Structure 1
Amino acid sequence: MPVASTSNPQQPISFYSQRAAHPEDQGAIFQETSVPVSFGDDEGAATALENGVVVVDRSHWGRLRISGDDRLRFLHGQSTADFLSLQPGTGCRTVFVNRHGRTIDLASCLVQGSSVMIIVSPSKKTAIKDRLEQYIFFGDKVEVQDVSDSTVLFTLAGPGSDELVTNLGAASLVGREEGCHAVFGAAGQPVVVSIARELGVPGYSIIASEGVGGDLWQRIVGQGAVPMGVAGWERARVLAGRPAVDSELTDLYNPMEAGLCSAVSVTKGCYIGQETLSKLTNLDAVKQQLWGLELSTPANVGDEISDGSSKIGIVTSTAQQCDGRPFALGYVRCRSKGAQVSLEGRQVLVAGAEAIIVGIPFASRIVDAGAQAKEAVSAL
């Protein structure tokens, strides 16, 4: 399938179109952006995600390097994760929230020897960089650097990920916890490989210099990874229940509602939005939750979810399952008469048609305050 050239002259040409050998041989299709939307076989990529391994070029996502002696203390107060309990070589997910505890973005963080790398959504890298710089006060030893244009980011996903990273020389990471990472060599350049279950299945993320991006991509594909474009990523993230900016991550929702409890510390003390999130946890006051919806007919974003008599939620994203059945994500009211109610398996109506509420692999719904407290103590 031929490669369509970008129609937006303001968009920079990605590493892929610059350096990957013969992208047309892999069926890359570019529409409006410099990032491949598809590689011509979305169904094959979906199958590989379930049974093998896919590779996704996420180089258009933001990468912010936070350095300086005060970097961990500074980040500790800027988002929901407990950075002071982290050691070099480990990492975490964290949520940037506003002062009311509503979501701005979900970020992945890697604590390195002299810096912290933060991976943020494409549309939020400038806003988050500006926000961080706004809170650097006189005397703070903190520097924020956007390294997105000088690096590439590839994500591997699927049950074959462990074997592939082993073949790439990163076997020491296999079996470790989310966010653990190490530096390996490729073409004489350092490559950071981290454990990242970004789509609810085993996976890894790889950050490297832009200069070796093309060769590294070819090496990964040569090891059997099936290229997946952003269209495939979007479908996969909906099916996994991974919330996205402007869909599930907006100022209408908080991290507990979005199924991001594992990214929230309620024991670490003061941070932006902490008061609201602590109250929600202490009072068990979450009123709605993000769930999957197996649909009987296709739905649209914004469609009403009802119990047959009243509105109980709204659809935020839609996708199609591998067998062709329609699927959606939506926020659903989870309290009735002041008490939490069970939602999984419940039959509801979406835009008047029958649907079933189902679990989503990416979601975490319980904040383990005790475990977090133990981690904080053990780090002292």
Structure 2
Amino acid sequence: MPKIALFDRSRWGRIRVSDADRIRFLHNQTTQDFQRLQPGQGGETVFVTSTARTLDLVTAYVEEASVLLLTSPEMAGQLVEWMDRYIFFADKVQLADITAETFAFTLVGKGSAAVLEKLGVPIDSFSRWDHRPAELANTSLLIAADSGLALPGYTLIGPSQQAEVVWQALLTAGLEPQSEASWEQLRIQQGRPLPGHELTEEDNPLEAGLWHAISFEKGCYIGQETIARLNTYQGVKKRLWGLKLSGLVEPGIVIEQAGERVGRVTSAIATDEGAVGLGYLRTKAGGAGLAVQAGAATAEVVAVPYLSHEYLAKAATP
């Protein structure tokens, strides 16, 4: 990957939540403490079922009159339907799937700010997930200090009719566009979980290493009782880890230690440095440094930067 990478993340879903009760509604629906977030701030949040099974990991950008949600690819429609079930007659909440109306481009790398400055977009001292309106190539857009990974970078969201103009401006600045396969490699190396792989009806957000996206200080929300109980009684029985593999394996392959099943592979990809993957392991089996077997491949369990496996006070807030 080049020093600064450019990804087209327009396949990722975008939902605008508006009207007077939007903050209260999202606060009650997801793991993030939305009542602490001010316009211009943001954070990650997890949509979970009543039994705390994961639906999606979402990035929320709180604006003056709405909240913009950046979902995983192909998840916007499902989450709109999910949220709509919980909007009652007196609730002042409006949901709009604006995926088709917008683009999302992400710059990844330490020099991203300098590139944007060169393009006439001044970058102040943003904290992670901070965002604001900006102008680039005569286009009004939102710029957020967020790469979607545990790496420095910025995400630009704007009107789809201006996507080509903004994309060309970024290419003119010397950025090299990267493929979906390159993003998938980074996702796995970083440890960002994905619906259908690490985020399923079998997994909860504590197991998925998303402690940083959960507030334990706020009140009741869907799935809160289960998550609080797992935390209080140390009930997390498996954890998501990185895997350094001797060869490429298929997702779903059983992970064994000394002939005993201890987990499963959820994602895997070949890289120039060898195959890497993600997988769930029983908590009692161990963690980083553990040697295991995944099908025909051997594997070393490794820590990955995106995941956290313990609670830090106010971790889900800026």
Q: Distance in 1 between matches of 2:225 and 2:71?
A: 24
- The one-letter code of the counterpart of 1:101 is A
Tell me the TM-score normalised to structure 2 length: 0.95
Number of residue pairs matched?
Answer: 318
Segment drifting more, 122-131 vs 249-258: 122-131
Instruction: Look up the match of 1:213.
Output: 163
Q: Deviations over 1:78-109 (max 9, x none)?
A: 11100000000000001111111011111011
- Are the counterparts in 2 of residues 267 and 372 from structure 1 also a CA contact under 8 Å? no
Equivalent residue, structure 2, for 1:75: 26
Match of 1:110 in 2: 61
Q: 1:326 aligns with which of 260, 275, 278?
A: 275
Alignment match, 1:143: 94
Tell me the percent identity. 37
Give secondary structure in 2 for the equivalent of 1:77: helix
Which residue pairs with 1:152 in the alignment? 103
Contact 1:265 1:367 in 2 (8 A): no
Cα distance, 1:352 vs. partner? 4.7
Could you tell me which amino acid in structure 2 is paired with residue 268 of structure 1?
A: K
Q: Residue 65 of structure 1 corresponds to which residue in structure 2? A: 16
Task: Report the 3-state secondary structure (helix = DSSP H, G, I; strand = E; otherwise coil) of the residue aligned with 2:17.
Answer: strand
CA positional deviation for 1:349: 1.4
The Cα shift of 1:275 comes to 0.6
Distance in 1 between residues matched to 2:183 and 2:208, nearest whole Å: 19
2:119 alignment partner, one of 168, 191, 196: 168
1:85 corresponds to which residue?
36
SS at match of 2:167: helix
How much is the aligned-residue C-alpha RMSD, in angstroms?
Answer: 1.7
**Where is the helix percentage greater, Structure 1 or Structure 2?**
1
2:281 partner letter: V
Bigger fraction of residues in strand: 2
Change (3 A) 1:213 1:345: same
Distance 1:289 1:169 in 2: 43
RCO (CA 8 Å, sep 6+): is it higher in 1 or 2?
A: 2
Q: Which runs of 5+ in 2 are unaligned?
A: none
* Counterpart residue number, 2:250: 300
Provide the rounded CA distance (Å) in 2 between the counterparts of 1:364 and 1:274: 19
Alpha-carbon deviation of 1:243? Answer: 0.6
Q: Distance in 2 between matches of 1:263 and 1:329?
A: 19
Closer, same or farther: CA 320–170 of 1 in aligned 2, 3 Å: same
* Paired position in structure 2 for 1:270: 220
**What's the CA shift string for 1:103-141, capped at 9, x where partnerless?**
111101100011000011222111101111221111211
Partner of 1:260: 210
Contact 2:6 2:175 in 1 (8 A): yes
2:139 maps to which residue? Answer: 189
Verify the 8 A CA contact 2:11 2:74 in the aligned structure 1. Answer: no
CA displacement at 1:188 relative to structure 2: 4.1
Separation in 1, partners of 2:70, 2:150:
17
Question: Gaps spanning 5+ residues in structure 1: where?
Answer: 1-45
